[in-house]
Chains A and B, each alone.
Chain A
Amino acid sequence: MTSVHATTPSGFLLVLAVILPVCAVLAIVACGPRSAARIAMTTLAAGLAVAIAIAMELVAGGTALSYVVGGWQPPLGIALRADGLSGAMIVMTALVLGAVGLFARSQYALHDGGGAGRAQTTFWILLLALASALNATFVGEDLFNLYVALELLTFAAVPLVCLDGRAETVKAALRYLLFALLGSLLYLLGTGLIYGQYGTLDLLALSQLSREDPALSAALALMIVGLLAKAALFPLHLWLPPAHAGAPAPASAVLSALVIKAPVFLILRLVLDVAPPQAAAVAGQMLAVLGAVSILFCSVMALRQARLKLMIAYSTVAQIGYLFIVFPLAAGSADLPPWSTIAWTGGALQLISHALAKSAMFLAAGVVYEAFGHDRIADLRGFGRVLPISAAAFGLAGLSLMGIPPSGGFVAKCLLLTAAVAEGYPWLAATILAGGLLAGGYVFRVIDKALANPAAPIVVQRAVPRRLEIVALALAAAAVMLGFLPLRPFEFLQIGRSGVSMAGLP
């Protein structure tokens, strides 16, 4: 085993990113509902600080951060490692979680004398557990450690779906759990085969050891299918719309923006770092086809939804599709590694801008639901007059989903489109364009209602604090701001990649 992880001076930040939220979870379980919101908000702030510190260390050092846990070298022990892409994911996670925390604070803060605090306490515990699980996924280097991280993610995400305890959300949560369990079991099976073949679970070591053989192909196929079930790519998306639409707004926002990105990130690592070139090429083509079908099919489904939150949920499946068409486009070549291609940058930007835009959209939808007591699109005529900020947040986030300048989504889709044309994938280029048009369709359907003249004067059933709307607007604005990045491969995303062998290259 040639690769050796060495703890870098600021590697302990990775431990903090994973463990701080765990400490807070224990503290809330021990202390009960009273201080839940306060502990959680403090931890989310600390998490943001750690994330920014990690990003700054990455920029300053120009190399990946590593940490060998307990001093036990892999393959016996476990290492953590953050490269540029992981760093970007961690910062994105911390930002979105922080914003959602601010949004949820008024909803899930314990009012004196109100309720027993079931939903409140549970929400904060689960949100923090999500933070830990996501960070563990982004910095994990060990396939089994990643399995535990994925399970942590599942156990945090599923109860979030049925926090309000209605039968339909419990049903959605159960279905989600079964899909997620099946997914993690398949992933685990692949892990076992890889260990049997190579005697290590360390990704860095595997990137140097892996070669074409039947056990590895079977393992990768199982793991990728399992992760697809968790990422809700067509045709394994059936669990997502009811789960994401049924959850309380802040939960929907994190589920759609962050939770499904973790399996996508792992698929990327498996295909790029572990799969031998031939297998990577085949897998990439198949993933791209599924991604394209996802984009088209679920965009059409989104257009046909009568309820706002269901529409946004279907839009999530469609937007996830874009992340899978990156695989053949970012295949790279002998002198151009995948992470220097424009498609790599485009994919990463799509991931981040979707996270910001989708969380903004779900939060805005949550405000609408809160204000009117329903989210039937047909009955929302003129809601922009009463909730201008939310309508604006929805519209700005929509820009990013459609890929209209200036927005992060525009830069992402533009890069992907250029890559598709340059690499000779006209059908992917056509899919990207069609997906943008369809997204325009479903976003304008809502914006049109927002700006329409209401037939009868529109009444807000419940006043919604302005603060909540501003959080949604800030997230949407951040998604737009990403659009001012230059249209070229982004160096931050390449930090620490060259250390990984070129296993994924032809």
Chain B
Amino acid sequence: MNGLVDIATMVLVSMGAVLFLAGALGLLRFPDTLSRLHAVSKADNLGLGLIVMGLLPQAESVSGGLKLICVWLLAQISAATASQLLARKIHRDEGRS
């Protein structure tokens, strides 16, 4: 039983890590800021979600698990706001030029 949970953790966290890597590559390779932003926010949100999901079964207590979910939630909120702010700024700058 324990082995299965561990395997699930490993698979989920690895998938998350791969998504992060993809996001990072997108950040480096995509041509314009908006698509870079898109790559990073998509991949990171999903990647973090997978990692948190993978780690949940490893949490030692319920409150530990709740903290993990809080971390994910807060990261979601701040990432969403930051992307929005950046996108607005880009939009404005482009509108001006």
Direct contact of A and B (CB under 8 A): no
Interface residues, chain A, with chain B CB atoms under 8 Å away = none
